[in-house]
Chains A and B, each alone.
Chain A
Amino acid sequence: MAAISREEVAHLAHLARLAVNDAELDTFAGQLDVILQAVARVGEVTAADIPPTSHSVPLTNVLREDVVTPGLTRDEALSGAPDVAEDRFRVPRILDEEA
């Protein structure tokens, strides 16, 4: 059985706002399936005494003091914006979504 279905790939593409056509869906579903199956092999060797790894370095509590550090000027901040209005980033409205 495939590790990921064509429908799941279509759903993920929608969530990531990627325009994927039918031919591409077939291609990606196949490719992703191979990748997932390869990764799944790791599961075959896990043991109960090995916790899942989410971070590659064995560190905890990397924290900073609450001290202001210089950031960007407004012009610098807006320099990479596709469009600017009223000192703000101007973006197209997002259809039918409200956070």
Chain B
Amino acid sequence: MTTTAPSTVEEVITRYEPVIGLETHVELGTRTKMFCGCPTEFGAEPNTQVCPVCLGLPGSLPVANKAAIEATIRIGLALNCSIATWCRFARKNYFYPDMPKDYQISQYDEPLCVDGYLDVEVEGQTVRVGIERVHLEEDTGKTLHIGGATGRIHGATESLVDYNRAGIPLVEIVTKPVAGTGALAPAVARAYVTELRDIIRSLGVSDVRMEQGSLRCDVNTSLNRPGEEWGTRTETKNVNSLRSVERAVRSEMLRQAAVLDAGGKITQETRHFHEDTGETTSGRSKETATDYRYFPDPDLVPLAPDPAWVEELKAALPEPPRVHRERLREQWGVSEHDMQSIINAGAVELIEATVAEGASPDAARKWWLGELARRANETGVELAEVGATPAHVAELQRLVDEGKLTDKLARTVLEGVVAGEGSPSEVVAARGLEVVSDTGALTAAVDEAIAANPDVAQKVRDGKVAAAGALVGAVMKATKGQADAKTVRELILSRLGAA
């Protein structure tokens, strides 16, 4: 037994095996809510997208949204699930003001889709993640806690509720427990959520934006000693980015190992993930299992998806992201290893879109995996949120190709774009960064450099072409780096008759 807490996942797995499980909620992008015709636009003024049904007013009756049912079945099919031929909605009863009815319409023992799987690639290995169920429910309203310090309920004296989100169709995707992944467990969790997001986006049923909450993830983690039964699991909530999914699993593995090493026991509880520290803190204890008293919702008749319709939906599924990526890999002419780097960086769609905007695959890859990936890493954001768009990158490369920007200048321009100063052309104009391509101005600068360095100039005239570097440096300095070094060099050599 060690006395110091483990500091790496590799150390943890010398003594323990992790089991993870993921529950993912996806807000569907339907025009209207699950059981009423209220609009679902993000960011509307509070309580302006509500009606008697989603406010739970007496006498109102829910009717299920066909588009939401179809989207859920398509998600289930894309995850290799069986689709129920008959199932019911259930009421999940609980006492909390985020649902005005005091229950949430969900599915309980009869989910729409069951028993599928999703294969994910992690470090060259394919890991099959089993899918337990995919079911449909309604989202809750948003509560704002007043009087507390952090918006959490602790210390709050009252809550303010906005029901715009209440009733938006929400798909819950639950994995089977994933065991046997060892030190890869954090990466598997991230790869799974990434692949799931890509699949759902390819289906066009949700914008799956974690930062806006249209994809939310709860991560279950437990540890057990080899050969022993699975340990007590904790459920980490509030995991709002792909990077955080990985960090949350890693942090829980380290924390639980330290507790177990010290002879302690893991409490079954909800834990909150904190983006700033990358650690989890204890939330509600689950010692007393919540009693939701599920029962079939009498206001909603059963669903019985026509098998012929399901077959039609299955036949019309888009190319899976994995297949699509393999096709892109061939088109772009990159190795499997390089493609994996692109995938890990979350750059596949960004590069694809940049190529569609007219850039070469190589150039698109260079910018996204180089400057922009570095920048995203430094600021701790997803690559897609770094501040530059595929159109920006394509425009930047076009300016380089046209000789209006050197590579070095382009990097400076990109900094401006990321800082929100506008498109590359706008940054070039605002910061005056264009390459000095005016031959007259450049020739004058060259002549000045020659005049100021007669000894160097003479060496070049005598055939010591390498000495021209000092003159190039002088011209670059005079033009504040805004000239193309190659052009300057050619100009110097031709002025000195050495070309």
Task: Point out residues on A near B: beta carbons under 8 Å.
Answer: 11, 15-17, 54-57, 59-74, 77-78, 80, 85-94, 97-99
Q: Is the CB of A74 within 8 A of B31?
A: no
Evaluate contact between A91 and B296: CB separation under 8 angstroms. Answer: no
Binding site for A on B (CB under 8 A): 30-32, 36-39, 45-52, 54-55, 57, 63-69, 86, 88, 93-98, 100, 140, 144-147, 152-153, 156-163, 283-284, 291, 293, 296, 298, 300-305
Out of B146, B161, B298, B304, name the residue touching A55 (CB < 8 Å): B298
Residues of B within 8 Å of A78, CB to CB, are 47
Chain B residues in 8 Å Cβ range of A89 = 47, 97, 100, 160-163
- The distance in angstroms between the C-alpha atoms of A85 and B260, with both chains bound, is 47
5 nearest CB pairs, A to B: A69-B37, A71-B51, A66-B67, A88-B160, A54-B296
Most chain A CB within a 10 A radius of its CB, from B36, B98, B152, B302 = B302
Using A54-B88, A90-B159 as known contacts, list a sample of 16 further A-B pairs with CB atoms less than 8 Å apart, ordered by residue number in A. Answer: A15-B291, A54-B302, A63-B63, A66-B66, A70-B51, A71-B54, A87-B46, A88-B161, A91-B158, A93-B145, A94-B96, A94-B97, A94-B153, A97-B95, A97-B284, A98-B284
From B95, B100, B302, contact of A15 by CB (8 A):
B95
Chain B nearest CB from A67 CB (Å) reads: 6
* Bound: A99/B140 CA distance, A: 10
Tell me the bound Cα distance from A88 to B67 in angstroms. Answer: 29
> Which chain B residues border A17 with CB–CB below 8 Å?
95
| Closest beta carbon of chain A to B309's beta carbon, Å | 10
Known A-B contacts A60-B301, A77-B55, A86-B46; A97 and B96 likewise in contact (beta carbons under 8 Å): yes
Q: Nearest chain B CB to A64's CB is how many angstroms away?
A: 5
| A62 pairs with B32, CB closer than 8 A | no
Tell me, in angstroms, the Cα distance from A72 to B11 when the chains sit together.
58
Of listed A17, A54, A73, residue having the most chain B CB within 10 A: A54
Contacting pair A99 B98 (CB below 8 A): yes
Per the bound structure, the CA–CA distance linking A85 and B46 in Å amounts to 11
Could you show 22 A-B contacts with beta carbons less than 8 Å apart?
Answer: A54-B302, A55-B301, A60-B303, A62-B64, A64-B37, A64-B66, A66-B67, A66-B68, A69-B51, A70-B37, A71-B38, A71-B49, A71-B51, A88-B46, A90-B160, A91-B160, A92-B157, A93-B156, A94-B159, A97-B96, A98-B153, A98-B283
Residue of B nearest to A54 (CB): B296
Q: Nearest Cβ in chain A — how far from B71, in angstroms?
A: 10
Q: CA–CA, A99 to B99, complex, Å?
A: 10
A93→B159 contact, CB < 8 A = yes
When distances are taken between beta carbons in the complex, the residues of chain B under 8 Å from A86 are: 46, 144, 160
A92 to B157, CA, bound (A): 7
Which residues of A have CB within 8 Å of B140?
A: 99
A66 adjacent to B32 (CB under 8 Å) = yes
A98 CA / B54 CA spacing, docked (Å): 21
